[in-house]
Amino acid sequence: MSDNNQFSIQVQLIEDYLFKIDFGEFGDVLTDEPPPLGGGEGPNPARLVAAAVGNCLCASLLFSLRKQKDSPGQVSATVEGELERQDGRWRIGQLNVVLEVENPQNLPHLSTALEQFEDFCVVTQSIRSGIPVNVRVQDATGKPLQ
């Protein structure tokens, strides 16, 4: 697998439920849980998932339109998430995404783009089909704790 197909981030606890996520050359983002658990000093992980889906869908729609040589202008998304209890634990139950295209009347290939753009969305399609997540817990020396 080439370096373009791999990525790495670092997540570090600051205090309580406030974390710093280090994206390397792209800088840091602070995340936090909303009160009463956290202080609400940044988006929580569920909101980051929603942002990733909305951003990826916008980019995929742009890609699909530009591939057809259409110039869509502004494309934006509103993502509403719903948390629900599943087996007694909070989970993202669903994400509702509304994409807005600035000038749809000036896009001769819009119908073609709408038929295929979701297939280009790495994040949405990955979440829809499920993502294997391998977890290892270790101490500071690398000794496994499981």
Residues 85 and 13 both lie in one domain? no
**pTM, rounded to two decimals:** 0.90
DSSP strand pairing (28-31 vs 75-86): unpaired
Same-domain check for residues 24 and 36: yes
CATH number of the domain bearing residue 115: 3.30.300.20
CA distances from 52 to 46, 104, 119, 132, 142 (A): 10, 24, 15, 18, 31
> If the chain, 146 residues long, is cut into consecutive pieces of 10 residues, what is the mean pLDDT of each piece?
80 97 96 96 97 96 95 93 94 94 91 94 93 83 82
- Output the six-digit token pair for 146: 């499981």
In this structure, the answer to whether residues 68 and 126 fall within a common structural domain is: yes
Do residue 92 and residue 75 come from a single domain?
A: yes
Domains: count for the chain: 2
Q: Are residues 59 and 36 in the same domain?
A: no
Q: Based on the fold, state whether residues 3 and 49 are members of the same structural domain.
A: no
pLDDT for 24: 94
Q: What domain range includes position 56? A: 44-130
Do 69 and 9 lie in a common domain? no
Q: Is residue 111 part of a domain?
A: yes
Asked if 29 and 48 sit in the same domain, the reply is no
38 and 66 in a single domain? The answer is no
